[in-house]
Amino acid sequence: MTRIAVVGMGYWGKNLVRVFHKLGALHTVCDTVSSKKEEIEHEYPGVSFTSDMNRVLADTNIAAVVFATPAADHFRHAMAAFDAQKDVYVEKPLALTVADGRAMVEAAARTSRILMVGHVLRYHPAVRTLAKMVEAGELGEIRYVYSNRLNIGKIRTEENILWSFAPHDISVILALVGQYPERVSCHGSAYLNKGVPDVTMSNLEFPGGVRGHVFVSWLHPFKEQRLVVVGSRKMVVFDDTSTEKLVAYSHGVEWVNDVPTAIKAPRERIEVDDQEPLENECRHFLKCIEERTNPLTDGREALAVLEVLETCQDSLEKGGVPVTLGGTTQTGRPFFAHPTAIVDEPCSIGAGTRIWHYSHIMKNAVIGENCVFGQNCNVDSGVVVGNDVKVQNNTSLYTGLIVEDNVFLGPSCVFTNVTNPRSEISRRGLYEKTILRRGCTIGANATILCGTTIGRYAFVGAGAVVTKDVPDYGLVMGNPARFRGWISRHGLPLRNPDADGVYVCPESGLRYKEVAPGIIRCLDLDEEAPMPEEMRVGTKSYDAIMHPERSA
């Protein structure tokens, strides 16, 4: 049985502790209030308690950590857990900024850890049934979706009502519509605490004319948790406060004397399973850990929700003016995609990235800023690409590939993710991780076998077949690829070291030296930092640098 630690035993953390204990997975509870130890020992015999999270991270018996802590702590806690090789569950929202959320998603991919976010409404039996109805086309074309989440409930001071209540409904609406909104606007007011809105109304505008809104408040005289989906054939109401959770209405419209007239139909109660959503969610997390599969509400899904939240917050602070959502519309979005390119939502694409003719970015891909994808490129689900990466024509990046910043991928280079593929045998779940470290270059038509790591600023020659790891600054060529020497950050061979064993790049003048057998380092630059901007633009051709006698 997977062993879980729950960090934070506050209002919602207590529920997580209860459910994971019920499922037989609870190993440890961690909370800064040490007096809660007596409560744990009394209600959950055999469960460990600690007030030191470092003990949780150091315990090799614990496979995953569940964080029911304030949202401001999610980034710091999750990153520490990934470093400790723990799978992670965080309560909503994923983080407080898209930048932090994207870093968490990338860290999970880099460490091969599972990241799940507590969008518990997605695991509600009624919402699951509704999603199946939408997918089967029972409602027809979705035209309008709105939700009300209102209560005189727990009032928070560390986060406003938008960030506290709206993530669940935004997650469900994005899933039902199947798209990102093009624009959002958000109005709200703060009545109790200045600068902390108690009531907000967020309006979502989707491609094709679909609209939605999310109304949330913790200053409401009674509890209301209602989601309404209006389709061309049916309207469905999910009311979580009613004994009839899901009700459909097949209302129609007829034209009478050129006047549209509503034709009402009887209400239809839809039966749903009687299951606790939180238990469904916790079971799903445990299953994903055991089977090493992506959760329904994984980091990428949560990143999409976070982007909507952040954009709504931007509109709220601007007095409710509509704001274009990054990465969704051809006009105003931070990246460019040619009209022939296909970008499946949800995915994450950074500002300044350009995607050219007939390329396909699949959902749940993560792409950084200022990247360039040439014609006929494919980026698979789960691929992580850093900033300033150049991908030339006819190159496909498959699940399991992690590409760090400033990498160059030549035309038609090939990556694999299964060692022994067979058409009739499914190898899903056995994909191997391949890592391209910062600044490396893969030549045209080169093949990189899965499970290998190409070191920083390494250079793989055109047509090479790489079957094992390549060291930092290593130059490899041939089939199979063999080590041929060292190469500088500027892509020039390093030859003829001086008496102290120091190589000098003939273009930049930067010095390199082997610090250990098979390990070379640049003596003039910080190895952990990217190349300074002033050194990125060369002034001489390769031929002029390497063969000055020809120029003479």
Same domain, 390 and 508: yes
CA dihedral (95, 96, 99, 101) in degrees, to 10, reads: 10
CA-to-CA distance for 532 and 129, rounded, in angstroms? 54
Same domain, 101 and 177: no
- Find the angle CA(322)-CA(328)-CA(329) to the nearest 5 degrees: 75
Domain finish residue from 224, 243, 274 = 274
Residue 162 maps to which CATH number?
3.30.360.10
403 — pLDDT class (breaks 50, 70, 90)? very high
Position 322 in a domain: no
Position 325 in a domain: no
Which residue has better confidence, 262 or 29?
29
pLDDT at residue 368, rounded to an integer: 92
pLDDT at residue 387, rounded to an integer: 93
Position 30 in a domain: yes
- Find the angle CA(245)-CA(251)-CA(253) to the nearest 5 degrees: 155
Same domain, 10 and 93: yes
For the cut 80, the answer to whether the pLDDT of residue 256 exceeds it is no
Query: For the ranges 11-25, 254-268, 454-468, 474-488, which has the lowest average pLDDT?
Result: 254-268
CA-to-CA distance for 169 and 149, rounded, in angstroms? 8
Same domain, 50 and 172: no
Place of tokens 């916790």: 282
Number of residues assigned to the chain = 552
Same domain, 67 and 126: no
pLDDT at residue 327, rounded to an integer: 41
pLDDT at residue 330, rounded to an integer: 36
CA-to-CA distance for 458 and 519, rounded, in angstroms? 12
Position 543 in a domain: no
Sheet with 342-343, strands from edge to edge, namely 342-343, 360-361, 378-379, 396-397
pLDDT at residue 233, rounded to an integer: 87
Count the Cβ atoms, other than its own, within 10 Å of residue 100.
Answer: 18
pLDDT at residue 329, rounded to an integer: 34
With 0-12 / 13-18 / 19 or more C-beta atoms within 10 angstroms meaning exposed / middle / buried, residue 149 is buried
Q: Which of 2, 18, 92, 69 is nearest to 276 (CA)?
A: 18
How large is the average pLDDT for residues 211-228?
A: 92
Q: Which of 78, 84, 83 is nearest to 115 (CA)?
A: 78
For the cut 60, the answer to whether the pLDDT of residue 552 exceeds it is no
Same domain, 147 and 76: no
Position 405 in a domain: yes
Query: For the ranges 242-246, 291-295, 384-388, 531-535, which has the lowest average pLDDT?
Result: 531-535
Domain of residue 12: give its range: 4-119+278-294
Same domain, 254 and 136: yes
Same domain, 61 and 135: no
How large is the average pLDDT for residues 137-150?
A: 91
Number of domains in the chain: 3
> Quick one: CA dihedral 147, 153, 155, 158, positive or negative?
negative
Q: Which of 521, 55, 95 is nearest to 302 (CA)?
A: 95
Residue 500 maps to which CATH number?
2.160.10.10
Residue 291: φ, ψ to 5°: -100, -5
Same domain, 388 and 495: yes
Same domain, 507 and 393: yes
CA dihedral (302, 303, 309, 314) in degrees, to 10, reads: 170
For the cut 90, the answer to whether the pLDDT of residue 29 exceeds it is yes
> Quick one: CA dihedral 372, 374, 379, 383, positive or negative?
negative
How large is the average pLDDT for residues 495-512?
A: 92
Position 258 in a domain: yes
Position 340 in a domain: no
Q: Which of 465, 477, 472 is nearest to 489 (CA)?
A: 472
For the cut 60, the answer to whether the pLDDT of residue 451 exceeds it is yes
Percent of the chain beyond pLDDT 70?
Answer: 93
pLDDT at residue 193, rounded to an integer: 80
Is there a contact between 157 and 128 (Cβ–Cβ < 8 Å)? no
Same domain, 113 and 127: no
Domain finish residue from 294, 324, 342 = 294
Question: pLDDT for 50-91, tens place per residue?
Answer: 999 999 999 999 999 999 999 899 999 999 999 999 999 999
Question: pLDDT for 267-301, tens place per residue?
Answer: 899 999 889 999 999 999 999 999 998 899 998 88
CA-to-CA distance for 488 and 509, rounded, in angstroms? 10
Question: pLDDT for 84-135, tens place per residue?
Answer: 999 999 999 999 988 899 889 889 988 989 999 999 999 999 999 999 999 8
Domain finish residue from 294, 325, 345 = 294
For the cut 70, the answer to whether the pLDDT of residue 332 exceeds it is no
pLDDT at residue 328, rounded to an integer: 37
> pTM, whole model, 2 decimals?
0.63
Q: Which of 480, 478, 438, 474 is nearest to 459 (CA)?
A: 474
Contacts of 298 (CB under 8 A, 6+ apart): 114, 115, 116, 117, 364
pLDDT at residue 331, rounded to an integer: 36
Same domain, 212 and 284: no
pLDDT at residue 538, rounded to an integer: 62
Half-sphere exposure of 247 (CA within 13 A, CB side): 14
How large is the average pLDDT for residues 137-165?
A: 85
